């Protein structure tokens, strides 16, 4: 499964409330244009290519196990949201994850 399809399918399931319509422009064919998603090599590790910054989104829901399929994810910023539950076990599959905030 491509990163685009994985990202789209993972993030469009687990949320019960997205107040600022953060995912409003998340359509299957344009991950690099999604609000809160960016492609950029990290200065200290060029293998990190994809980041997500959903800070201050006030998103309500849980972090699904499927996040472990996003193996190109290097930076994942999700503070100041209202997630519940635990960090999924499949996060161990995120070998290049450098930042989890």
Locate the domains of the chain by residue range. Answer: 3-100
Residues 26, 35 contacting (CB under 8 angstroms): yes
Structure confidence by residue, pLDDT tens digits, 17-75? 777 677 777 776 667 777 887 776 666 767 656 788 888 888 888 888 888 888 878 88
pTM over 0.75: no
Two structure tokens written together for 26: 């998340």
CA-wise closest residue to 6 among 63, 64, 69 = 69
In the CATH hierarchy, which fold is given to the domain comprising 3-100? 3.80.10
Would you state the pLDDT for residue 1? Answer: 43
Two structure tokens written together for 96: 């290049």
CB atoms within 10 A of CB 25: 12
Helices assigned H by DSSP within 1-101: 3-11
């Amino acid at each position: 499964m491509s990163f685009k399809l994985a990202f789209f399918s993972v993030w469009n399931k687990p949320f019960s409330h997205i107040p600022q319509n953060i995912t409003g422009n998340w359509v299957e064919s344009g991950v690099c244009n999604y609000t809160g998603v960016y492609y950029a090599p990290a200065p200290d590790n060029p293998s990190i290519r994809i980041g997500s910054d959903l800070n201050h989104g006030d998103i309500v829901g849980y972090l699904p196990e499927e996040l472990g399929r996003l193996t190109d994810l290097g930076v994942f910023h999700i503070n100041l949201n209202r997630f519940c539950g635990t960090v999924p076990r499949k996060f161990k599959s995120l070998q290049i994850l450098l930042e989890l905030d």
